[in-house]
Structure 1
């Protein structure tokens, strides 16, 4: 074999050796990186949240293991389901001798992780009597689970509308439902207003972005608790949040969102709150069109119908038929609808701030 051939073989051998060494170094570096990341995750978890995902969470929140949850929920038995939202199923169970609500978020990785993070970063920091309390969480593999205080009387929409009559409705009333009195409805809406005013006036405000009857829970005293912060966002400056995705529920969603606005503000919550006021007073769904008058072929939505009725001073006719008129003061009802229509103004800048709404509601006599 001549010197040229030997040189070629030597060069090839050197190349393979160098490539092998380089590959080995990459493998060792990657292992070191993974080992370092594992040491920065929360203790006690099998596959915990990386520090980058959990750094802004309240450290006092309890981590609960998946085996504990499987045992408590009987492997997430359908018999324990008390709620079915767009972000996951909610189960009633007992943990550490306390009845709690457990929400298992969507199995879709992106959706589940996004809603989990939103709730942990917003609801995990809030402490107010009219906002549901988050007690703990579980983050294992692809599973994201949130644990809340259990609110005895379920959601507001279950009391306003007979949602249990649907065969597809997985929620069940825990107590017999009677028509809500005007005084109770006023108490509930005042509670929601207090909770929103608290959120909007934090040093770093939080917007909910999905205020509606199904996201208001009622305790045994019918105090309101705002729930489901899966769409909530922290707003760092100017009380607004830039988003490329429309958020909310049809019927409650402010018109500027539907027209393509990419900035979500506290006044978006105010609009949804105004629609909720109309719903709680009339007992009518805001997201379903209906015929305003008998024989009328044109369908309208709740907000449009309410404006027409208020313009003709027919506020008492708007009230839910289940509300007793005995001793009911018309002046208070008129003021209630005046506040509701102000909040539900199509013009964003004409809506009052929630702090002002609280004062106005407190001025209504029952």
Structure 2
């Protein structure tokens, strides 16, 4: 019979081998996991965010990946003198990447969460589509903690600037911005309608979620280009909405957003209707207006009330020339806007139907 001393020694040896085996297994698993992670993700310096290789499928592979050195040179190290606008979470710079090639460069905020979220949203939506009324995304830069998006440069700047600012800021070659004519305004909103209709008709519909005057850019011929897709989301074909927190701009937000409703294409329709009212009246949707009794009411309430009283001509921006202005066309324009801004999303027309309504106006008035 083995002595107690021998049994103790045997037990110690057995325990040593078991512990050694367990430690070896754990070490092997950790090394394998670490190696696997190195092959599937690219860490961003100075932040906990990572851009995985699977993210390369988020966008059109034809997009150019631009070196940060080239962007620094093109923007003179992102000089404030070259800022031409600011989108959500970042400034936009005018730059020349090559002789005769002018682009708009948006450098996203250094904040890891917001900057990467917008980068991902723009790449997943704008990076996959092309349309005459949607700004083109040419390329991107994702290096270290920097995330930059490169777009086509739209010469005339934003619709917001043309509605409210008549000063020269370098975006337009003229010394003074002249008021937009009625015809130009109608064509601008029709262009926005066509861009939204395209987005909503995709197999995975895209909801912009921030349609407003500052996110509509105008080219040299005053054609509209929808911009800033930082809040945009895709809707899977099996769903009718995106469950997400309320996002957008006050005055343009649909009422259902304040009652727990998810983001839908009909939310874009409401924002578009508010844009129509704004373009025609040159009044900001987020500001209250005094009605005929001197009581301050919401912009949309004032607009609906004026239309119901057949006061459409009195609503127009006073700077719009009345020469050759067709009153029936003006009333039809406001009628479409009221359809878009009814409280119930189910009663709003689709953007596809809205485009057809604009073409009916064109047929009737020979636009």
Q: What TM-score comes out, normalization by structure 1 length?
A: 0.88
Return closer, same or farther for 1:348/1:238 CA change in 2, 3 Å cut-off. Answer: farther
> Which residue of structure 2 aligns with residue 60 of structure 1?
62
Q: Secondary structure at the match of 2:310?
A: coil
12-21 or 80-89, larger mean C-alpha shift:
12-21
Provide Cα deviations, 1:257-307, integer angstroms capped at 9, x if missing partner.
122212x221111111110000000000001113234x71x3222211011
> Which residue of structure 2 aligns with residue 51 of structure 1?
53
Q: For 1:73 and 1:188, locate their aligned partners in 2 and report how far apart those are by CA, in whole Å.
A: 30
Q: For 1:281 and 1:239, locate their aligned partners in 2 and report how far apart those are by CA, in whole Å.
A: 35
> Which residue of structure 1 aligns with residue 46 of structure 2?
none
Q: For 1:201 and 1:31, locate their aligned partners in 2 and report how far apart those are by CA, in whole Å.
A: 43
Residue 72 of structure 1, aligned match among 60, 69, 74: 74
2:309 pairs with 1:306: no
Q: 1:104 touches 1:145 (CA, 8 Å); kept in 2?
A: yes
Residue 6 of structure 1, CA deviation? 4.8
196-205 or 13-22, larger mean C-alpha shift:
13-22
> Which residue of structure 2 aligns with residue 254 of structure 1?
254
Q: 1:205 touches 1:239 (CA, 8 Å); kept in 2?
A: no
RMSD: 2.6
Moved over 6 A (4+): none
> Which residue of structure 1 aligns with residue 280 of structure 2?
281
How many residues matched?
A: 352
Q: 1:286 touches 1:302 (CA, 8 Å); kept in 2?
A: yes
Q: For 1:212 and 1:360, locate their aligned partners in 2 and report how far apart those are by CA, in whole Å.
A: 21
Residue 134 of structure 1, aligned match among 99, 116, 137: 137
Residue 139 of structure 1, CA deviation? 1.2
Which runs of structure 2 are paired with 1:81-96 in the superposition (5 Å)?
81-96=83-98
2:348 pairs with 1:345: no
Q: 2:167 touches 2:177 (CA, 8 Å); kept in 1?
A: no
Q: 2:166 touches 2:177 (CA, 8 Å); kept in 1?
A: no
Residue 324 of structure 1, aligned match among 306, 309, 321: 321
Q: 1:180 touches 1:323 (CA, 8 Å); kept in 2?
A: yes
Residue 356 of structure 1, CA deviation? 1.5
Q: Secondary structure at the match of 2:285?
A: coil
> Which residue of structure 2 aligns with residue 220 of structure 1?
220
Q: For 2:354 and 2:30, locate their aligned partners in 1 and report how far apart those are by CA, in whole Å.
A: 61
> Which residue of structure 2 aligns with residue 160 of structure 1?
163
Residue 58 of structure 1, CA deviation? 1.1
> Which residue of structure 2 aligns with residue 204 of structure 1?
204
Residue 4 of structure 1, CA deviation? 6.7
